[in-house]
């Protein structure tokens, strides 16, 4: 080490280090212009001059390239140095008087105007650009000329052929003087960010996206300067971890596995192949994926919607549906991509939230396919908010040259042509399978279908043509997130069923660091406020909330994050906990129901008890409900943070509780979903009790003939029944129902209607649904030729005389559904009716077949049925709720009058048979809902805890759902959900014990007098009366079953003497929150 002095302070440096490096490491500021830590120092700007006393005299040296030596004495801020630096900056200002960078630098030295003649240059001759180019390995630019003629230039003042347009010179230039167009012969194109779908650029070394896990940079070899020139390596030089090795090569890794799951995802359709939509040719035409990134707070536009042509807020936006789907033109695909309709509706609603209700939105569509749970309600919401839905075919999009607007030319249903101008156009592009997936399937020997999706059997929805290889997601067909997540669990269940004996052999137990004892420590609260992109930060003043938090009592540190739940933010919070010795943590962000567990585990990783955490839900309670009132939202956020801090100060560590798991499952419902779930759980090695209220298994599936792909259903169901009946791990309880139940995840006790009591760790509810009987509608029940769709299905399969001889058959869709009483789509009826229409046409090609519908929802690859039906001559007539079809008895035949959507006039159809596609309604689930504390939605279907993240989990831990008791769906989804529910159940059954919540009731012995007021209100039967001897007298008190108690607080609210308290919610803590809410603290 070399010892010397800087400004009288003893410092040390390594041999070979420069003065500037040592000064910066010791926090001593020395100004620089031409210095950059990635480049060899040059000392060109002279701004880093310092005074060196060598024992004999004082002289000036450039600190950036002067090596340290023993005993030297340095001054960095004398009057003489300030004068020299001021002169240097004044000369720079006279050379570059218009450069913002130089003007800002001049202000720091108190220079308003230079005393010298002003030039008009913007290059300060720092040489950074030439040195970085040399470091890259190209030397495409350099310094030429002498004296006042010196300048940065290319060889022979010509655009350089050697320039690889890496942009390093542009990024390092402090004044913006360097322009690639002046330097290079080659066009400069930013590297498009894959995450932002090309709306922004990225560097050759980059982190894929803000919340990437793990958050590790990647190097793109195709554009990295090192792999082009063998130079640069700057990233390796500055990486403090030494993690970058440019010599790394691809490796082939061999893994011995028992199963393979393919989940390779999708590729968006590229609409640039056609000129019709101007995509890639006009800046204001974008895809729905690009618009999604524009809406995103973490996207390149930070959630602000604006036109790319001029940056203005759009007043009119159009969405064009089915671009790349439902067509054979322009390289499109014949299938429906399933997700685009809902995506467009969502984007119209969010766009109005961003730009106000004055925004004019128009969706150009053929059919609106909102066929999943609660999607129809969202559709109605979009209409009520003023979004226009234009049923049409878009012909072309043309530019309006003077304004940057776009003209959409389209044809209405009645054949009339229209045109309308818009500020922006969003193309709802379809989903495709990438070529890399096709290549992978070929390597694996897995069969693909005609549309390049895996050729999955409806009755084995996650299996492939190769045993042991499974698939899920869009790879098996177009689908949305909830179905994809469910299928992922299904694939996991199917793939691990045969590997059950090996479970746990490769498992590693997570070890947390020892927890700090905070009982004797001074309270130090850390407050971390989440922007949640623009969900919070776009409404409330987050910096003001952070500043406010810093003023609160016992708050030792406060900070905001873009996304507090992201991996890097959590690592930062852990670092701040350690650095500032924080022993209580408050996170002000979103809902505790979805994110509290994440932050509690974060505390354990930081060495703190997880119950020293409090959460303020400022998103749901403030910025979402006060979106148009930012000031009020901000103040309310402050109030909630104050309340959270007030409670956090009083938090105490709680003991962690656990309970053993009963490794047995209960499945309620003996239909397809229930049976598949029971078999899948049994395949995992666990015992199952299967409850069916009827005397036979099979459910509604026995009424079905074939899947939409033509696979026979009854033989499949009969085979599943045989497997269930012969499986030694499955105990059947036919003719039984669940009468009552108690307990919690891992330890339930259910009593059946026959008196039998079953202990189990989990339950799967698969109680199915039934067809609505449309008594009195469309002559159903009055005319024998008006059939239910299921009866029509059966008659076609049995080849009854009625259908064999019929000359005209009609179907009416949405009977009893998509109406205020049942505001949902059944998802199955359109496909089912079209299937039957094709079967009738096969019986008699001359038969007239009519389908009277509201929206034809043959989603996904079912679109092929719709196309085939049209080709065979099936006539489709759309009706609306304002003009319902009318059915009359006409001497044994049926007269159906409906307003034709093309002619806009009533038409009469004379039919021999009429089939009604009716609503699917749930069975009476109210008793089970109460028994297992599983909520029902307004229509009586079981409610999931989160539609996308946990689509088959109920809000009660350990209770799962599958099949049509959750919502109407086709048989392949019901089967997949049976597997998926089994997979979710196995996550509990496979454990020896479960961690319990410690925020449960605790008797306060000195206050409790044994009045027993708390026992009856407890909804979980967790409290019992206890008598014991104390001081020679009988003492009455209560005891709490830690396993059953959920910490709801009913007992605490009932007790008149504070004789029982919920840990983590003491009266003192709640009182502190109330006082904070009232502004008393």
Q: Read off the pLDDT of residues 113-153 as tens digits, 9 standing for 90 and up.
A: 888 877 888 898 999 999 999 998 888 898 888 887 888 88
Containing H/E element for 615?
Answer: strand 613-616
Q: Can you list the alpha helix ranges (DSSP code H) found in 708-788?
A: 714-726
For the domain spanning 267-426, the CATH number is 3.50.50.60
pLDDT band at 528 (very low <50, low <70, confident <90, very high): very high
As a whole number of angstroms, the distance between CA 340 and CA 348 comes to 12
pLDDT band at 324 (very low <50, low <70, confident <90, very high): very high
Which DSSP letter does residue 621 get? I
Over 80: is that where the pLDDT of 328 sits?
yes
Which residue bears the tokens 């054949």? Answer: 415
Which DSSP letter does residue 386 get? T
Over 80: is that where the pLDDT of 61 sits?
yes
Over 90: is that where the pLDDT of 54 sits?
no
Phi then psi for 284, rounded to 5 degrees? -95, 10
User: Is the CB of residue 1060 less than 8 Å from the CB of residue 1013?
Assistant: no
Q: Is 223 left (phi over 0), alpha (psi -120 to 50) or beta?
A: alpha
Cis peptide bond upstream of 214, omega within 30: yes
Q: What is each CA distance from 324 to 305, 330, 332, 898, 967, in whole angstroms?
A: 25, 8, 4, 32, 29
SS3 for 308-323, per residue?
Answer: CCCCCCCCEEEEEEEE
DSSP string over 962-998: -GGGTS---HHHHHHHHHHHHHHHHHHHT-SEEEEPS
* Encoded tokens for 948: 């996308």
User: Is the CB of residue 294 less than 8 Å from the CB of residue 199?
Assistant: yes
Which DSSP letter does residue 392 get? E
CATH 3.50.50.60 for the 771-919 domain, yes or no: yes
Closest CA to 346 of 316, 371, 378: 378
CATH 3.30.70 for the 128-183 domain, yes or no: yes
User: Residue 696 burial (CB < 10 Å; 0-12/13-18/19+)?
Assistant: exposed
Pairing verdict, β 205-206 and 218-219: antiparallel
Over 80: is that where the pLDDT of 210 sits?
no
CATH 3.10.20.740 for the 2-77 domain, yes or no: yes
> CA Rg, the chain, in Å?
36
> Which pLDDT belongs to residue 508?
83
Over 80: is that where the pLDDT of 912 sits?
yes
pLDDT band at 306 (very low <50, low <70, confident <90, very high): very high
Q: What is each CA distance from 251 to 248, 270, 369, in whole angstroms?
A: 9, 32, 45
The CATH T-level fold of domain 660-768+923-993 is FAD/NAD(P)-binding domain (3.50.50)
Mean pLDDT of 267-276: 92
Q: Can you list the alpha helix ranges (DSSP code H) found in 2-78?
A: 19-25
As a whole number of angstroms, the distance between CA 917 and CA 897 comes to 17
Question: Could you give the angle at the alpha carbon of 373 between the alpha carbons of 371 and 379, nearest 5°?
Answer: 60
pLDDT tens digits along 932-954:
999 999 999 999 999 999 999 99
* Encoded tokens for 810: 């009609």
Q: Is 743 left (phi over 0), alpha (psi -120 to 50) or beta?
A: left
Over 80: is that where the pLDDT of 1032 sits?
no
pTM reported for the whole predicted model: 0.85
| 3-class state of residue 748 by DSSP | strand
What are the domain boundaries of the chain?
A: 2-77, 128-183, 267-426, 435-500, 525-603+615-648, 660-768+923-993, 771-919, 1000-1062
In this structure, which long-range contacts are made by residues 894-898, counting pairs with CB atoms below 8 Å and at least 24 apart in sequence? 894/779, 894/783, 894/785, 894/786, 894/810, 896/810, 896/812, 896/850, 896/852, 898/852
pLDDT tens digits along 850-895:
999 999 999 999 999 999 999 999 999 999 999 999 999 998 899 9
Neighbours of 982 (CB within 10 A): 34
Mean pLDDT of 35-52: 91
pLDDT band at 769 (very low <50, low <70, confident <90, very high): very high
More confident residue, 756 or 159: 756
More confident residue, 885 or 506: 885
More confident residue, 602 or 211: 602
pLDDT tens digits along 467-485:
999 999 999 999 999 999 9
pLDDT band at 928 (very low <50, low <70, confident <90, very high): very high
CA 715 to chain centre: 39
> Which pLDDT belongs to residue 566?
86
Rounded to a whole number of angstroms, the distance between the first and last alpha carbons of the chain is: 55
Over 90: is that where the pLDDT of 160 sits?
no
Strands (DSSP E) along 745-807, which ranges?
Answer: 747-752, 757-760, 762-765, 769-771, 786-788
pLDDT tens digits along 77-113:
999 999 999 999 999 899 889 888 898 889 888 998 8
> Which pLDDT belongs to residue 829?
96
Phi then psi for 561, rounded to 5 degrees? -130, 155
CATH 3.30.1050.10 for the 1000-1062 domain, yes or no: no
> Which pLDDT belongs to residue 24?
92
Domains 2-77 and 771-919 share a fold: no
pLDDT band at 314 (very low <50, low <70, confident <90, very high): very high
**What average pLDDT does the structure give for the chain?**
93
Closest CA to 832 of 807, 855, 857: 857
> Which pLDDT belongs to residue 650?
96
Q: What is each CA distance from 332 to 266, 272, 412, 473, in whole angstroms?
A: 15, 11, 21, 21
As a whole number of angstroms, the distance between CA 275 and CA 269 comes to 15
Residues 38-68: b if buried by 16+ CB within 10 A, e if exposed: bbebbbbbbbbbbbbeeeeeeeebbbbbbeb
Over 90: is that where the pLDDT of 310 sits?
yes
Over 90: is that where the pLDDT of 594 sits?
no
Residues 793-809: b if buried by 16+ CB within 10 A, e if exposed: bebbbeeeeebeebebb
């Amino acid at each position: 080490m070399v010892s010397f002095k800087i400004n009288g302070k003893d410092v040390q440096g390594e041999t070979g280090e420069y003065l500037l490096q040592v000064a910066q490491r010791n926090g001593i500021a020395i100004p620089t212009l031409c210095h950059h830590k990635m480049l060899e120092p040059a000392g060109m700007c002279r701004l880093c001059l310092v005074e060196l006393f060598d024992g004999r005299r004082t002289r000036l040296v450039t600190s950036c390239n002067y090596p340290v030596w023993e005993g030297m004495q340095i001054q960095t801020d004398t009057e003489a140095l300030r004068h020299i630096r001021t002169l240097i900056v004044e000369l720079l200002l006279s050379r570059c008087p218009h450069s913002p960078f130089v003007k800002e630098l001049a202000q720091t030295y108190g220079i308003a105007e230079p005393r010298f003649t002003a030039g008009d240059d913007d290059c300060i001759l720092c040489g950074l650009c030439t040195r970085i180019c040399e470091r890259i390995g190209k030397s495409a630019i350099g310094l030429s000329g002498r004296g006042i003629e010196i300048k940065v230039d290319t060889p022979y003042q010509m655009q350089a052929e050697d320039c690889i347009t890496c942009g390093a010179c542009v990024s390092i230039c402090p004044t913006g003087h360097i322009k690639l167009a002046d330097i290079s012969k080659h066009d400069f194109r930013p590297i498009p960010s894959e995450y932002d779908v090309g709306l922004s650029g990225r560097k050759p070394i980059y982190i894929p996206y803000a919340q990437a896990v793990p958050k590790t940079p990647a190097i793109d070899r195709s554009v990295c300067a090192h792999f082009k020139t063998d130079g640069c390596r700057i990233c390796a030089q500055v990486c403090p971890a030494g993690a970058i090795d440019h010599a790394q090569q691809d490796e082939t890794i061999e893994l011995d596995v028992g199963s393979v799951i393919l989940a390779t995802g999708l590729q968006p359709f590229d609409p640039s192949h056609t000129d019709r939509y101007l995509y890639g040719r006009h800046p204001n035409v974008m895809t729905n994926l690009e618009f999604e990134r524009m809406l995103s707070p973490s996207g390149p536009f930070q959630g602000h919607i604006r036109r790319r042509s001029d940056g203005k807020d759009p007043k009119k936006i159009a969405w064009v549906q089915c671009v790349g789907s439902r067509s054979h033109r322009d390289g499109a695909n014949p299938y429906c991509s399933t997700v685009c309709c809902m995506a467009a509706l969502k984007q119209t609603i969010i766009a109005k939230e961003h730009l106000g209700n004055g925004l004019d939105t128009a969706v150009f569509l053929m059919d609106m396919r909102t066929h999943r749970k609660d999607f129809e309600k969202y559709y109605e919401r979009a209409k009520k908010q003023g979004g226009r839905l234009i049923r049409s075919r878009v012909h072309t999009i043309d530019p309006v040259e003077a304004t940057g607007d776009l003209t959409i030319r389209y044809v209405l249903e009645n054949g009339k042509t229209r045109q309308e101008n818009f500020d922006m156009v969003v193309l709802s592009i379809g989903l495709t399978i990438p070529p890399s997936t096709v290549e992978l399937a070929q390597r694996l020997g897995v069969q693909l279908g005609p549309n390049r999706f895996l050729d999955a059997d409806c009755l084995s929805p996650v299996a492939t043509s190769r045993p042991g290889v499974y698939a899920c997601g869009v790879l098996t067909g177009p689908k949305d997130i909830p179905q994809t997540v469910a299928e992922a669990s299904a694939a996991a269940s199917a793939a691990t069923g045969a590997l059950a004996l090996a479970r746990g052999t490769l498992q590693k137990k997570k070890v947390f660091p020892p927890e700090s004892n905070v009982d004797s420590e001074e309270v130090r609260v850390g407050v971390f406020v989440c922007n949640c992109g623009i969900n919070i930060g776009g409404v409330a003043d987050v910096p003001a909330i952070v500043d406010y938090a810093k003023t609160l009592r016992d708050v030792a540190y406060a900070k905001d994050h873009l996304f507090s739940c992201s991996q890097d933010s959590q690592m930062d919070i852990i670092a701040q906990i350690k650095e500032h010795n924080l022993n209580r943590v408050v996170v002000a962000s979103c809902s505790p129901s979805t994110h509290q567990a994440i932050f509690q585990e974060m505390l354990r990783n930081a060495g703190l008890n997880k119950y020293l955490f409090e959460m303020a839900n400022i998103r749901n309670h403030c910025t979402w409900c006060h979106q148009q009132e930012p000031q009020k939202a901000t103040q309310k956020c402050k109030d909630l943070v104050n309340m959270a801090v007030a409670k956090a100060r009083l938090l105490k560590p709680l003991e962690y509780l656990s309970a053993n798991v009963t490794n047995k499952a209960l499945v309620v419902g003996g239909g397809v979903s229930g049976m598949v779930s029971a078999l899948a759980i049994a395949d995992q090695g666990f015992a199952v009790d299967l409850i069916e209220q009827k005397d036979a298994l099979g459910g509604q599936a026995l009424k079905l003939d074939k899947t939409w792909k033509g696979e026979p259903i009854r033989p499949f169901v009969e085979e599943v029944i045989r497997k269930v009946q012969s499986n030694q791990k499955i105990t059947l309880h036919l003719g039984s129902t669940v009468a009552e139940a108690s307990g919690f995840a891992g330890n339930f006790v259910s009593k059946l209607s026959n008196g039998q009591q079953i202990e189990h760790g989990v339950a799967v509810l698969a109680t199915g649904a039934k067809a609505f009987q449309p008594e009195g509608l469309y002559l159903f029940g009055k005319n024998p030729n008006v059939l239910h769709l299921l009866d029509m299905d059966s008659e076609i399969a049995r080849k009854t005389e009625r259908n064999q001889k019929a000359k005209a058959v009609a179907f009416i869709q949405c009977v009893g559904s998509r109406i205020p009483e049942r505001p949902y789509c059944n998802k199955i009826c359109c496909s089912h009716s079209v299937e039957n229409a094709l079967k009738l046409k096969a019986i008699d090609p001359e038969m007239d077949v009519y389908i009277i519908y509201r929206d034809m929802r043959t989603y996904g690859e079912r679109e092929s049925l719709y196309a085939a039906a049209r080709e065979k001559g099936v006539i489709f007539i759309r009706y609306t709720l304002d003009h319902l079809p009318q059915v009359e008895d006409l001497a044994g035949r049926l007269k159906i009058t409906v307003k034709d959507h093309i002619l806009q006039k009533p038409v009469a159809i004379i039919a021999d048979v009429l089939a009604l596609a009716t609503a699917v309604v749930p069975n009476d689930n109210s008793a089970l809902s109460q028994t297992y504390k599983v909520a029902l939605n307004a229509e009586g279907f079981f409610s999931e805890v989160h539609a996308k993240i946990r689509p088959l989990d109920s809000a009660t831990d350990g209770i799962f759902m599958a099949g049509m008791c959750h919502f109407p769906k086709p048989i392949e989804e019901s089967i997949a959900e049976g597997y998926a529910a089994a997979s979710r159940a196995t996550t509990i059954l496979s454990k020896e014990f479960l961690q319990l919540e410690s925020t449960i009731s605790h008797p306060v012995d000195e206050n409790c007098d044994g009045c027993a007021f708390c026992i009856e209100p407890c909804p979980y039967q967790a409290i019992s009366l206890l008598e014991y001897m104390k001081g020679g007298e009988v003492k009455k008190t209560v005891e709490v079953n830690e396993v059953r108690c959920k910490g709801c607080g009913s007992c605490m609210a009932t007790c008149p003497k504070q004789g029982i308290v919920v840990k983590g919610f003491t009266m003192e803590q709640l009182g502190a929150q109330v006082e904070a809410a009232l502004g008393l603290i």
